[in-house]
Amino acid sequence: MDPILSALVDSTADGAPPAEPKPENKPPAAPPAPAPAAGDPKPAPAAVLKRRPRREPEPPPAPPPAPAPMPAPPAAPAPTPTDDFEAGLLDEEKEQLEMARDAERLLGEKYKGFEGRTKKFLKDHQEYLAKARERDPDAVFDETNAEYQAWLSKNTPVIPQRDIREMERKRITEEVEKRQDEKISEVYDETFRRDAEPKVKQRADDFFNKAVAELPETLTKAIKEEGVEKAKAKFPTEFRIANAILGQAAADVEEFYRLTTVNPRTGRPMKAYDPKNPTHAGLIEFVNTQCNAFKKSGGKALIKDGKRFVTREEYYTMPKEQRAGVWTFTDDQIVGMARIEAAKMVKLKIEEEHNRLKAEGWTRPAPAAEPAPAEQPPGAPPAPNPTPIPAKPASSEPDELHPHTRLLMGE
């Protein structure tokens, strides 16, 4: 059972009004710890906890749907394992089991297997009470029940007081080190973001310039032969559409690289995925759409070097040891698909705009004749040949950038 749902079950049980106890059948008392060995101080109350009357937990509510994971960053560490038995324990029993886990984790070989022994004791205790009630429904399980107390003394796992003090010292040390490590990690992440940001922007600029090269041939030819300014004057509508779509697509690609560029030192991305951010949600949608389409119709291409294709969501949610036999799209492959989609969108929008304008009676004006070059006097140097202006980078402000144009969102 999910640990969050387990917490809901426990809090529901704890908040319910207790049933009226019957005098002739008192609930079992807590199994107290046996007396410590000679020379040991009395065990602390946290080692063996007082029990309340047991109640069956209410069924948990249906879990909410989990949000889709970010496709590129490594999967988050799994929570502490739990099961239905642990979910049904009382709070005191959970604390006892958690203390057993800490003893095994912090105190080394001396308490190896202590968690398992404690868990077995809790199960045996439940079985003991059930069988005792079958024999005698009126049995009372408290300090007056000698047989019950003898069973507890024989079977209850005990942590001596000196070991409890050692555990507390190590817990404090762990907490201090954890806080120090978190502060150090924040410094590492800040340095990593500062160094990686120029590279991310450069990759977005590269995306824009490569996408410009895939514009309709009439535009690329005009840019190459006449330069950007003359080409823009000649094709103002086409340039406006291309700049708006490619500029927004480049901004989305830049954000994609921030989400998927991970600091190897801390395992955290430059920017955390936010499911409420529409750009982030759109990136996930685009990635999943491309992966699912290829998985459905990829045919023989799904097998590469003997490895089977899986979606990025599948890849990054499976254990690392299971990834050896599978492959998925890389970040750059996803960006390449986005560039193709952006170029398609530019051509589509230009065609739609042309059809709309033609329906209104618009025709493209004939290009004005170039004025004849003035004659140069004898001995004058030749007229300069202007160099074409390079394509506009993604970091420049696009003309009439439309905020809702999201190529990576599949629009």
pLDDT at 181: 80
**Cα of 79 vs its chain's centroid, Å:** 14
Distance CA(80)–CA(150), nearest Å, equals 33
Q: How confident is the model at residue 10 (pLDDT cuts 50, 70, 90)?
A: very low
Distance CA(281)–CA(351), nearest Å, equals 29
Distance CA(388)–CA(143), nearest Å, equals 95
Tell me the pLDDT tens digit for each residue of 184-240: 888 889 999 999 999 999 999 999 999 988 888 888 888 888 888 888 888 888 899
Mean pLDDT of 312-331: 92
pLDDT at 140: 85
The answer, yes or no, to whether residue 307 has pLDDT greater than 90, is yes
pLDDT at 366: 56
Between 375 and 228, the more confident residue is 228
Between 324 and 77, the more confident residue is 324
Q: Which residues neighbour 189 within 8 Å (Cβ) at sequence distance 6 or greater?
A: 263, 266, 268
* Contact yes or no for 249/207 (Cβ under 8 A): yes
Tokens of 352: 């739609």
Mean pLDDT of 268-278: 92
Tell me the pLDDT tens digit for each residue of 44-70: 433 333 333 343 444 444 444 444 444
* Beta bridge mates, 309: 327
* Sheet with 326-327, side-by-side order of all strands: 303-304, 307-309, 326-327
Mean pLDDT of 165-177: 87
Mean per-residue pLDDT over the chain, rounded: 75
* Contact yes or no for 328/311 (Cβ under 8 A): yes
